[in-house]
Amino acid sequence: MPAIQAALRDSFERYQRAFQAVIQQGIAQGEVRSSVEASAAALALIALIEGAILVAQHLGQPLDETMSAVVDTFLEGLRGQPSFAQKATDPWLNHQGGSDAQGPLAEAVPIRWAYPSPQNALDRFIGPGATRAEVLLQFLPTLAITLVFLGAAILDGWGWSPLQLGVAGLLTLDLVGGVITNATSSAKRWYHRAGEGKRQHCLFVSIHIAQLTLLMAVFDPGNWTFVLGAYGYLLLAAWLIVRAPLYLQRPLAGLLLVISFFLSLAVLPVPPHFAWFLPVFYTKLLSSHLLREEPYRPAWEEASQPRAPLANLPGREAESLG
């Protein structure tokens, strides 16, 4: 009996430390109210989970789904939202200003980090659970813009070879589509899931030297000033964004994106006919991809999609470049 009690105590303490670390990380990143006591919250969460296990076993409900619902609800309650007392006294929050009042409670929009298991390569590319509207928004405008660009090259007589037309089309599809795809909520919750931290995001950004090099090699051979200048700024900007506190990442990305426009249009020697390339390139990576944003979902999705395992949810592990 003492051995069993010791094993249970050890397991309990490990879970408490793990939950406490998650809550402390949320406080540090501004996602959890600073007034929350991490150790007490971790104990409360463990108690809720144990109760959920008993209920699930008694009712015959799926254990993982029940636990996921409990953890989701509990952690959502710890997020940096206004207190109930503040909501009751603040006219901005409780919308006492009439029918035109606006604010964060004006419309209840589901935020859903859990996602269905990816079924194919497309799911792993655009994010599993993408709605039909998201898919159409990603592919149709991207294809139209690519065809317009290639049509201009042919009709205006830019003198491009079939190889150059093919590379131009590929790069346009990649960048324009990347801006839209990475901005969808399905992609946000996929590319910012647990395990996708600062290291993974910096790696994703770093491999985009391929697009810069391909553009230079096919349209402006030897223009390494363009490649190295654009790539150097990309790495610096990405590093600054991922190192910033979460609540500062969006305005910092906006600042760095504005600087990149001046760099692209007035400083770097961009290949002819590609003045648009770097602004779209930086928008895709610095804004659409790197920024973690809440994945707002359509209301009908809640009942139609299964919950993901707990390990898939964000914030389960500390992000580190080291």
- The pLDDT assigned to 3 comes to 58
- d(CA 227, CA 93) in angstroms, rounded, equals 49
Mean pLDDT of 29-48: 69
Q: What is the pLDDT of residue 316?
A: 39
Average the pLDDT over each of 30-44, 92-106, 171-185, 258-272 and give the range with the smallest value.
Answer: 92-106
Strand partners, 111: 296
- pLDDT score of 112: 82
Residue 240 has pLDDT above 80, yes or no: yes
Domains and CATH numbers, the chain: 2-81 (1.10.357.10), 121-306 (no CATH)
Q: Per-residue pLDDT for 236 more than 60?
A: yes
Q: pLDDT band for position 304 (50/70/90)?
A: low
Give kind and range of the element (H or E) at residue 322.
none
pLDDT in tens, 176-233: 999 999 999 999 998 988 888 888 999 999 999 999 999 999 999 999 999 999 999 9
HEC string of 4-33 equals HHHHHHHHHHHHHHHHHHHHHHHHHCCCEC
User: If you average pLDDT over residues 59-70, what whole number do you get?
Assistant: 68
- Show the tokens assigned to 43: 């104990």
AA identity, residue 262: F
Answer yes or no: is pLDDT of 57 > 80.
no
Average pLDDT over residues 281-292: 94
What average pLDDT does the chain have? Answer: 79
| Predicted pLDDT of residue 270 | 94
pLDDT value at residue 51? 73
Res 118 pLDDT > 90 = no
Residue 302 has pLDDT above 90, yes or no: no
CB-CB contact of 261 with 233 (8 Å): no
- % of the chain with per-residue pLDDT over 70: 68
Position 268 confidence tier, pLDDT thresholds 50, 70, 90: very high
Among residues 126, 142, 110, the alpha carbon closest in space to that of 186 is found at 126
Q: Is the pLDDT of residue 97 over 50?
A: no
Q: Read off the pTM.
A: 0.64
Mean pLDDT of 243-266: 94
Question: Does the pLDDT value for residue 241 go beyond 50?
Answer: yes
Q: What sign results for the dihedral spanned by CA atoms 289, 295, 298, 301?
A: positive
Q: What percent of the chain has pLDDT over 90?
A: 46
Q: In angstroms, what CA-CA distances link 154 with 168, 176, 247?
A: 12, 20, 46
- Which residues make Cβ contacts (< 8 Å) with residue 259, sequence separation at least 6? 237
